[in-house]
């Protein structure tokens, strides 16, 4: 091939913006950002063909830190925005980034229906079992005995939400759990998630060093999973129901449901709809 005609190769740096992250030093989200850019580079996706959508929270800042198209929306609403974007622009690779509070509390209902609809999105949840941005309250994934917040001085007292079990039950087509302590593994899993059709759920255990300093222990969690990926939903369910939530480093389930992708409406059809609903 003519050297001039050779397409330029993208590196991870090409997907980073000039905005400097303001996360606390040591926050696990730095590694996840690096993993996302490595995954995009490994797939050689043109930045203009990728979009990252988020809600609110520390990890939801990721669209600002990447050079691809981004949308930093309102709390808990990343998934419906991303769904609309993917339906309208099926040519785009759409990632959704956020945390456990944003995704499983105020965004919980959207999470269920995004799994059910199975639109081709990759949802990367940085789970630190706490609301970091609002200074350390218990989140849906916080353990019942955690006493680290003044709002729950005697512990949370209720069982934590299990996103992968709920995601599987609701119809997610790809489920993985990994640790920010192993960014190359996270990048590999994100690449697999993007390639797999339908709704892919990637839970990344990503420590909040400020409000959950004990999570620094998570840096030892590197590919501890001994299981192999299964396409059997019942087997995946048994595995997820019986593990301790820290089986990391592997894709746990790959389904074969076809992604939901209706034909985008043309401009004329949209104008007609708008006219019908005009007040």
- One of 65, 211, 218, 253 touching ligand SF4 (CB under 6 A): 211
As measured in angstroms, the least distance from the Cβ of 59 to ligand SF4 is 7
Which of 94, 112, 208, 251 forms a contact with ligand SF4 (CB under 6 A)? 208
Integer-rounded Cα Rg, in Å, for the chain is 19
151 or 268, CB closer to ligand SF4?
151
55 binds Mg ion (CB under 5 A): no
Collapsing DSSP states into helix, strand and coil, what is residue 73?
coil
Contact assessment for residue 236 and residue 166, using Cβ atoms and an 8 Å cutoff: no
Q: Which residues of 157-173 are buried (b: 16+ CB within 10 A; e: fewer)?
A: eeebbbbbbbbbebbbb
Q: Considering the rule CB under 5 A, would residue 99 count as an interface residue with Mg ion? A: yes
Q: Which does 94 bind (CB under 5 to 8 A by kind): ligand SF4, Mg ion, none?
A: none
Q: At what angle do helices 163-170 and 233-242 cross, to 10 degrees?
A: 160
| Pair 107, 55: CB distance under 8 Å | yes
* Smallest distance, ligand SF4 to C-beta of residue 31, A: 11
Residue with tokens 């939530």: 245
Which x/- pattern over 250-279 shows residues binding ligand SF4 (rule: CB under 6 A)?
------------------------------
CB of 180 or CB of 230, closer to ligand SF4: 180
Residues 6+ positions from 232 with CB-CB distance below 8 Å: none
Kindly state the smallest distance separating residue 148's Cβ from ligand SF4, in Å: 12
**Closest distance between ligand SF4 and the C-beta of residue 141, in Å?**
13
What does the per-residue mask of binding to ligand SF4 show for 105-134, with x meaning CB under 6 A? -----------------------x---xx-
| Region 130-169 residues binding ligand SF4, contact defined as CB under 6 A | 132-133
The full DSSP string for 25-64 is: TT-THHHHHHHHHHHHHHHT--GGGEEEEE-SSSGGGHHH
Helix 108-117 vs helix 78-88: crossing angle, to nearest 10: 30
Cβ of residue 158: shortest distance to ligand SF4, in angstroms? 22
Q: Which does 58 bind (CB under 5 to 8 A by kind): ligand SF4, Mg ion, none?
A: ligand SF4
In the list ligand SF4, Mg ion, none, the entry touching 100 (Cβ below 5 to 8 angstroms by class) is Mg ion
Q: With beta carbons less than 8 A apart as the criterion, state whether 90 and 83 touch.
A: no
The smaller minimum CB distance to ligand SF4, of residues 37 and 180, is found at 180
Q: How far is CA 51 from the centre of its chain?
A: 13
Residues linked to residue 51 through DSSP beta bridges, in sequence order: 69, 94
Would you tell me which residues interact with ligand SF4 (CB under 6 A)?
Answer: 23-24, 27, 29, 58, 128, 132-133, 208-211
Interface with Mg ion (CB under 5 A): 99-101, 128
């Amino acid at each position: 091939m003519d050297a001039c005609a050779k397409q330029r190769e993208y590196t991870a740096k090409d997907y980073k913006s000039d905005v400097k992250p303001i996360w606390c030093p040591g926050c696990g989200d730095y590694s996840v950002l690096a993993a996302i850019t490595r995954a995009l580079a490994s797939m050689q996706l043109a930045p203009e063909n990728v979009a990252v959508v988020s809600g609110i929270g520390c990890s939801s800042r990721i669209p600002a830190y990447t050079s691809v198209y981004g949308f930093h929306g309102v709390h808990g609403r990343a998934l419906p925005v991303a769904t609309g974007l993917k339906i309208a622009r099926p040519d785009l690779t759409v990632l959704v980034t956020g945390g456990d509070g944003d995704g499983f509390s105020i965004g919980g209902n959207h999470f269920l229906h995004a799994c059910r609809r199975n639109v081709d999105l990759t949802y990367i949840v940085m789970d630190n079992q706490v609301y970091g941005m609002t200074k350390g309250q218990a989140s849906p994934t916080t353990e019942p005995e955690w006493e680290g917040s003044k709002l729950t001085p005697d512990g949370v007292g209720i069982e934590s939400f299990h996103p992968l079990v709920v995601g599987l039950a609701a119809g997610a087509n790809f489920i993985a759990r990994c640790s920010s302590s192993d960014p190359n593994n996270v990048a590999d899993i994100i690449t697999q998630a993007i390639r797999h059709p339908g709704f892919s759920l990637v839970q990344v255990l990503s420590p909040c060093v400020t409000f959950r300093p004990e999570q620094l222990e998570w840096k030892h969690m590197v590919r501890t999973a001994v299981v192999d990926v299964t396409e059997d939903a019942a087997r995946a369910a048994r595995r997820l129901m019986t593990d301790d939530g820290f089986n990391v480093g592997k894709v746990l389930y790959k389904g074969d449901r076809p992604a939901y992708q209706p034909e985008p409406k043309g401009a004329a059809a949209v104008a007609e709809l708008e006219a019908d609903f005009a007040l």
